[in-house]
Amino acid sequence: MVTVDGEWIEFSFFRPSACKVHLAGDFNNWNHQQLPMARGRDGYWKARMRLPAGEFKFRYCADGEWFADYAAFGVEPGRFGLDSVVRVAPPTTPPVLKVIDMRSRTAHGQMAVA
C-alpha cells in the first residue's frame, strides 16, 4: 500500500513472517539493499521517503524474493515481472491575489500624481 502526502511517500507492505524487507525502484536504480523497511508490530513493513513530482516504479524485496504492490497506483510489466507504480503530483502553489488601492487612481484609470 502506498500513501502520498505531497512529496512524502509512505510505503507499507504486509509480510509478518519476513526477516528483512527492502524497497527498490527506479528512484534508487533498483538497489534491493539500499532502502531497508522497518517492521511494525502489526506485520506491516514501512518506509517513508521524499520523491519529486513524477511517476516511479518499485517493488518490495522480502528475504530475497520480489513482490509487486497491487494496492499502489497500479502495476506495469517490467523487465523481470510486474512493477508497482506510484505517482507524485507536482506541488500546487496558492493563487496570487493582487490588491490594487483604488484610492490612488483617477476616474479614467490613470495614476494620480501627488
Instruction: Locate the domains of the chain by residue range.
Output: 2-88
**Residue 60 predicted with pLDDT over 80:** yes
- Residue 8 cell numbers, joined: 512524502
Taking phi first (over 0 means left), then psi (-120 to 50 degrees means alpha), and beta for anything else, what does residue 56 get? beta
The whole model's pTM is what?
Answer: 0.76
Assigned CATH topology for domain 2-88: Immunoglobulin-like (2.60.40)
- List C-alpha distances in Å: 5 to 48, 83, 109: 10, 21, 45
The predicted structure's pLDDT at residue 6: 84
**Residue 79 predicted with pLDDT over 70:** yes
